Chains A and B, each alone.
Chain A
Amino acid sequence: MGIDAAHYHPWKTNPGGKLGGPLLGAWRGVAAVVRTTLLQLMRRKAYWAIYAVGISQFVVYWVVIYALTQLQLPSGTQRGMLNTFGFSIEAADPQDTGYLDFMEQQSYVVMIMLAFCGSLVVGSDFREGTLPFYLSRRLERRHYILGKLIALVGLIWLFTVLPALILFLEYGMFTTSTDYWRANWRVVPSILGYGTILGVVLALWLAAISAYLQKLAPIAVVWSSLFVLLGRLGFMLSRETGIREWVLLDPWKDLRLAGRLCFGQFRTAGDAQLSATAAWILICVSLVALLALIRRVRAVEVSA
């Protein structure tokens, strides 16, 4: 257990500089937080189990669309099967909601994955004293928060945006040219926009809840109450009272309406009317979550 025979060597670096200026140093710190967060997650078997469940729906979509592009079916049959998934064979069809529907249907598995992640990558930093480690380096509170949020957004995109974009690429195989992609190029920014809303909102809410609760069981209780219970209560209130605005109690509904804003597609005129309110609700709650998160991180600096 003695000192290694090697002597201490000072750090020799290129003339370009050691730790980088404030911006470069901050960027390296944020990137390190993102990398480490994702690495921590991907080293858990449970993550891959959830990922397998989550990606199964994508596989179903992939297989069906691939089969439909390869099999010689009557166009009516093809159209009908595609419509089942919300896709349309016509270019730039405003009824084409397949990508939107796919991203919405990933909501349950995203919810479970995030409940798990919250405890592992945010809660554990507070519980096991890792946060003071981060903050005692050349990292400000905002860089730590930004790194964690980017990691969570990336995670959400793995389940939603990335598969949706792959489906978009695959769907173009219906045409033998790039016509589909050129005609439907707006789908890409729509997917990215919806993915950004999903990612930022869910990441903020999760980080704030996990920072305070830290352990998996209470996070799961609160998280599932938010995304399952409120939805059911909102639906029942809306149906039984006739006041449609009650559906906005459901965060998933709010996210979906905001997502539909990105796609410019609404199921009903009522949805279109509620979308702006839904967006405001998401913004307000997310701001509260951000402030709560900043306050919690500051409290750790003081008490650690």
Chain B
Amino acid sequence: MEPLVDIRDVSFAYGAVRALTNVSLRLEPGTVGIVGNNGAGKSTLLRILLGLLHPTSGGGTVLGCDVRQSSSQLRGLVGYMPEAHAVVPLLKGVEFVALSGDLYGMPKRDARRRAHEVLNYVGLGELRYRRLDEYSTGNLQRLKLAAALVHDPKLLLLDEPTNGLDPAGRTAMLRTIEDLIAATGKSVILCTHLLADIERICKQVVVMHQGTVARAGTLDALRQHTASRYALRWQGPREPFVAALQAAQVSLDFPPEHAAVPSTEQHALAVVPTGWHTAQFFELAGRSEAVVVELRPEQEDLEQLFFRVTHGN
């Protein structure tokens, strides 16, 4: 299957500021989340994938279209929902979405018909004849999504789609995106600060840090590394057991005191080396005269992964 995104050694600089450095990515069709701190290069990467910016060096393809040579063709296959306000003043909702269709090269009649269809789909049917300056923030976000969908693209690039939405609006937007993916099989690249949104929707994650890709892959694959994490609770002496675990190359992280944990017990987060068996915990505990009370595999969530990757670097 043709990859969704296949870029190699892409760099981009705004004058003296290097926004991206040797970014290489191969993403399969599906849902992808791009996360990173402010200034990590997410928006720059998105613009390169959209063909809006040409990389200073490197290149690649998106949906089989070269990001340098075929940027116009590429944008015909991609629907882009920007983070910024980016609406045309004085237009009505349906006119704005139809304009988006016109700009994608749709025949005028099709653009108008599709504008009505997608506005119904995103729930703005009753507001279609309102002027854009009368739209609330949430409605504007849905309008921008409609404008991105009007030409039925293969790939959606959504930049902070839940920006400025209240909790109900955010849930509705995420449900819309989930429904869209489930119903159409479109690929989505979601760029957001909200890790919970990515965990909910995306199968693949790209973690950006200081202009480079710190981690990329499926969520499950990234979490596989964390199959070696255990929450450990024991009774008995602390130091001998800790020393024994550390001698066996188990790294320990001691979380703050927890009210639920009795003072007679110790607890830690243990990251074990490759090839470790859980029986070894009990063996080492026995030698140290400690008793293991609880041993539970810990799944790292995306936030922990993100902080581990970015701050650990």
Contacts and interface: CB of A to CB of B under 8 A. Distances in A.
Chain B associates with chain A: yes
Contacts of A44: 90
A71 interface: no
Contact of A138 (B87, B88, B95, B104): B104
B89 A128 contact: yes
28 contacts: A1-B138, A2-B172, A2-B175, A4-B123, A8-B149, A8-B183, A10-B152, A11-B114, A19-B106, A28-B107, A28-B108, A32-B102, A36-B91, A39-B90, A39-B95, A40-B89, A128-B86, A129-B84, A130-B87, A132-B84, A135-B52, A136-B50, A136-B52, A136-B75, A138-B75, A139-B75, A140-B72, A302-B53
B88 A133 contact: yes
Interface in A19-59: 19-20, 22, 24-26, 28-29, 31-33, 35-36, 39-40, 43-44
A134 interface: yes
Nearest to B84: A129
The 6 closest A-B pairs by CB, nearest first: A25-B105, A32-B102, A137-B103, A11-B152, A19-B105, A133-B86
Contact of B76 (A2, A9, A138): A138
Interface in B101-127: 102-108, 110, 114, 117, 120-123, 125
A18 B75 CA distance: 14
A45 B267 CA distance: 72
Interface centre among A29, A31, A137 (most CB of B within 10 A): A137
A70 B134 CA distance: 52
Contact of A133 (B82, B114, B175, B183): B82
A12 to B, nearest CB: 9
Contacts, number: 139
A187 B102 CA distance: 37
Given A13-B110, A129-B85, A20 B120 contact: no
B106 A28 contact: yes
A1 B141 CA distance: 12
Contacts of B50: 136
B99 A32 contact: yes
A11 B151 contact: yes
B176 interface: yes
B180 interface: yes
Contacts of B89: 40, 124, 128, 130
A36 B183 contact: no
Contacts of B172: 1-3
Interface in B190-242: none
A26 B75 CA distance: 12
A301 interface: yes
A284 interface: no
A31 B99 CA distance: 10
A138 B179 contact: no
A267 interface: no
A1 B125 CA distance: 11
Interface residues of A, number: 46
B254 interface: no
Nearest to B80: A136
A132 B86 contact: yes
A304 B149 CA distance: 21
Contacts of B107: 13, 20, 28
B169 interface: yes
B120 A28 contact: no
B162 interface: no
Contacts of A33: 103
A40 B52 CA distance: 25
Contacts of A36: 88, 91, 95, 99
Contacts of B91: 36, 39-40
B31 interface: no
A86 B105 CA distance: 48
Interface in B35-69: 50, 52-53
A124 B95 CA distance: 18
A29 to B, nearest CB: 5
A11 B108 CA distance: 14
Contact of B105 (A7, A24, A302): A24
Given A3-B176, A20-B105, A25-B76, A136 B120 contact: no
Contact of B120 (A6, A18, A24): A6
A99 B46 CA distance: 54
Interface string A126-157: 00111011111111100000000000000000
A290 B107 CA distance: 30
A12 B50 CA distance: 24
Contacts of B80: 136-137
Contacts of B149: 8
Contact of A137 (B75, B183, B184): B75
Given A4-B122, A28-B108, A40-B91, A129 B103 contact: no
Contacts of A301: 52-53
B11 interface: no
B235 to A, nearest CB: 51
B259 interface: no
A1 B152 contact: no
A302 B14 contact: yes
A132 B47 CA distance: 10
Given A11-B114, A18-B106, A31-B102, A138 B84 contact: no
Contacts of A40: 88-91
